[in-house]
C-alpha cells in the first residue's frame, strides 16, 4: 500500500517549519521610574544587556518617550515583557517585528 500525503498533511509540515513571529519589547517613559530602576530592570531581565547599553536605552526612553529594548521571537518577548512590567516599568503592547 502506498500512502501519498494529503494537502493538509503537507501544509501542516510547512507550518511546523515556520518561525514564531518576531516582536519588539518597548518601554515607555513615565514619571514614576528612576533611570537607575529602569537600568537595573533591563540588566536583570534581558539576556546580554550590559549597564552601558541599559543607560543609553533609559536616556532614549526619557528623550523620545519610548525605546525598543529587545527584539526577537514572540514567546521570549512575552516573557521579557511580563518580567519588565512586573518590575513596574511602563510597557507598550508587544510590537510586531
Percent of residues, the chain, with pLDDT higher than 90: 75
Going by pLDDT thresholds of 50, 70 and 90, the confidence category of residue 80 is very high
Quote the Cα angle for 44-66-60, to 5°: 75
pLDDT digits (tens, 9 = 90+) for 50-70: 999 999 999 999 999 999 999
d(C-alpha 27, C-alpha 62), whole Å: 10
Please list, in sequence order, all residues whose beta carbon lies within 8 angstroms of the beta carbon of residue 5, skipping any fewer than 6 positions away. Answer: 13
**Which CATH architecture describes the domain 20-96?**
2-Layer Sandwich (3.30)
pTM to 2 decimals? 0.79
Domain edges within the chain: 20-96
How much is the average pLDDT of 7-33? 78
What pLDDT shows up at residue 97? 72
The chain-wide mean pLDDT, for the chain, equals: 89
DSSP the chain: ---PPPHHHHHHHHHHHSPPPEEEEEEEP-SSS-HHHHHHHHHHHSTT--HHHHHHHHHHHHHHSEEEEEEEEHHHHHHHHHHHHHTT-EEPPPEE-
What pLDDT shows up at residue 11? 61
How much is the average pLDDT of 13-39? 87
Amino acid at each position: 500500500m502506498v500512502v501519498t500525503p494529503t494537502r493538509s498533511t503537507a501544509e501542516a509540515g510547512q507550518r511546523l517549519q515556520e518561525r514564531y513571529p518576531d516582536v519588539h519589547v518597548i518601554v515607555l517613559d513615565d514619571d514614576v521610574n528612576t533611570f537607575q530602576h529602569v537600568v537595573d530592570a533591563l540588566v536583570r531581565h534581558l539576556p546580554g544587556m550590559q549597564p552601558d547599553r541599559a543607560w543609553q536605552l533609559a536616556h532614549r526612553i526619557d528623550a523620545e518617550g519610548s525605546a525598543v529594548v529587545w527584539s526577537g521571537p514572540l514567546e521570549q518577548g512575552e516573557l521579557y515583557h511580563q518580567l519588565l512590567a512586573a518590575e513596574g516599568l511602563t510597557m507598550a503592547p508587544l510590537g510586531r517585528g
